[in-house]
Structure 1
Amino acid sequence: MPALPGQAEAPASPCVQICALDAADICLGCGRSRDEITRWMRASAAERRAICDAARDRLALRHLPPTPAR
């Protein structure tokens, strides 16, 4: 959907086709919550950006730094 003048375009879905929810209902692939996934199609551009930011932060918290080579 094209953005109106002065508005940023809505981000694309962060889905990476790895759709599996953990015990907290967070997708292991994209980092969105079950609620965020179901709200995505109705979300405004600003809401989508906030969802993407939150999902990115969740995924970053999940990943541990690489184990040093021995």
Structure 2
Amino acid sequence: MSSTKDPCISVCKFTDDICIGCGRSKREIKSWKKLDKVDKRTVLAEAALRLIALGPTARRKSK
């Protein structure tokens, strides 16, 4: 994953502190701009796994 662009898709609804739009926690969203590139990539990878775990509840950005 080479991009560290903010993954927000403007859904911003939470299930157990995880956004169903981007898969990040509230803490990760809040600290996003302060994270370095490596930390952002880690958050993106973890968020992707969370979205998979959320299954049909998660809203993914249409391609």
TM-score range, shorter chain: 0.7 to 0.9
Which amino acid is the alignment partner of residue 51 of structure 2?
Answer: L
RMSD: 1.5
* Greater C-alpha radius of gyration: 1
User: Which of structure 1's runs of 4+ aligned residues deviate more than 2 A?
Assistant: none
Match of 2:4 in 1: 11
**RCO comparison, higher one (Cα < 8 Å, 6+):** 2
| Greater helix proportion | 2
In the alignment, structure 2 segments of 5+ residues that lack a partner are 57-63
Q: How many residues align?
A: 55
32, 41, 44: which one aligns with 1:49: 41
Aligned twin of 1:39: 31
Using the size of structure 1 for normalisation, the TM-score is 0.72
Contact 1:10 1:48 in 2 (8 A): no
Percent identity between the two aligned chains: 33
1:61 CA drift (Å): 1.0
Secondary structure in 1 matching 2:18: coil
Q: Which has the higher strand share?
A: 2
Structure 2-normalised TM-score? 0.80
Match of 1:27 among 9, 19, 22: 19
Runs of 5+ in structure 1 lacking a partner? 1-8, 65-70
